[in-house]
Structure 1
Amino acid sequence: LDAASGAYSDGYGRLNTARGVAEALVEDVSHERHVLFVKSGYWLVIDGLSGANEHRFDLLYHAPPDVDMTIAAQNTVRLENSAKSAALQIQVKGTAQLNLSVVRGADTPIQGWWSLNHHHKAPSNTLVAQAEPACRMLFVTLIAVGPDYSLQQTSPTSDGESGWQISGQHGLDLLQVSSKIAAQAGNDKPQFMNNLKLTRSPSNGGANSEELVLFDNVRSSNEM
């Protein structure tokens, strides 16, 4: 298992390209992301967002211009290159109802473009997972090669606790997420902190599962 995490809380806003500054800056939102590469064949991306006020949170995944995106059932998206020689499956779930759409080459607002350098752009597919307005939101994304993996929420969200089941050729894995709001030293912004625990299925027909505690109130890159 390889894992890494990062956090951002320095504000969000639209960039005024003429002035080179961000306008209408939103400063009350903290974002924490964890990426897990589970070497049986899939990736998990866990995004936790928290604000002092309600916001509409959109999660975006961008693809190169030659990659097709098709939305199927159960918030599953298939990505396939133009030669049909490679494909990925993405499943996006959240602690609130999500609306999934694919945007390509839109101007208002600008979305679904790919740029190799200045003064160049080409339409490309962007997956948009849009949540209802909330103060807190947790997105869990499963990325896998092939259609044989599934992500389901196994326990309802309560007091920041949620459980997620990943099924596939390897068996069943369980991800448990404990989300907390904590004060940040020297800053009055809320700090969104995720404690993660992944319970792996027995491998090679073994009898014992493996329990890994990840990111227990720490923010650092880890390799396990």
Structure 2
Amino acid sequence: MQEALKQKHKLRLLVLHKLYELSGSDVHKFVNGGVLFQACGDEDEGAFKSAVDYLEGQGLVEVRRVVMGLPGMVRIKHKGIVEVESAFAKPDEATSNFMPVNMLYVNQMIGSAIQQGTSSSVQTLTSKVNVGERESLAEFVEFATNILESNKSDSDLWRELKSEVETLRAQSNSPNPKRSIIKDGLSSLGRLCEGAASGAIGAQLATYIPSLLAIFG
């Protein structure tokens, strides 16, 4: 029981620490959820989501979610910054949310744990579409397909919407999806959803497109 709790604390602190780094400890900057997941290394996706849920529940981060899958965007709050800096400034002492760092990282080098994230590190992480991002896209494609099939039409607009969704489907199924193609497809879909002509279809799809663009932008 103690070891299981320790591992939970360790992952939660890791997620918060990586968010601190990637955001440059800026409380106004949102970080791509897929990028944050990848920065945490070979962690289980379910455990990662649970860790983010915990941090959100404790008021340490703010989360913007897409349909399902990984959190879309995550922002560290002032309280979260205080937790990270306190944890590593006094590694022998527990914080209000975490066990002492030296207890969590026994016989491990934690080095200079508090450091500013750089734009180059973010660019490296975002170059390839990761598993979590692909799952978020696939879930949106299925959602969009169901909406389109429920509102089937012979109109040119419906066919254009269907075409863009199929382009996104092809990328979600590709062994090497292209971020630029996904972004262009989402942008085109967003433009098609604008205005009264798209009706109920556009209104429902448009709700999720901005969050997805934030992930793949």
TM-score normalized by structure 2? 0.24
For the pair shown, the structure with the greater C-alpha radius of gyration is 2
Higher strand share: 1
TM-score normalized by structure 1? 0.24
